[in-house]
Amino acid sequence: MKILIADDSRVMRQIVVRTLRQAGHGGHEIVEAENGKQALELVTTERPDLVLSDWNMPEMTGIDCLSALRASGSDVAFGFVTSEGSDEMRQRAEAAGAAFLIAKPFTPEAFDDALRSVL
Contact 4, 51 (CB under 8 A): yes
Q: What is the largest CA-CA distance in the chain?
A: 34
What single-letter DSSP state applies at residue 104? S
Residue 45 pLDDT level (bands cut at 50, 70, 90): very high
Residues 6+ apart with CB under 8 A from 22: 108, 111
9: three-class secondary structure by DSSP: coil
What one-letter code names the amino acid at 90? R
**Residue-wise pLDDT tens digits, 64-77:** 999 999 999 999 99
Q: Which residues pair with residue 82 across a beta bridge?
A: 103
Cα–Cα separations (whole angstroms), residue 92 to 7, 22, 24, 80: 19, 29, 29, 11
Note if the pTM is more than 0.85: yes
The rounded mean pLDDT for the chain is: 95
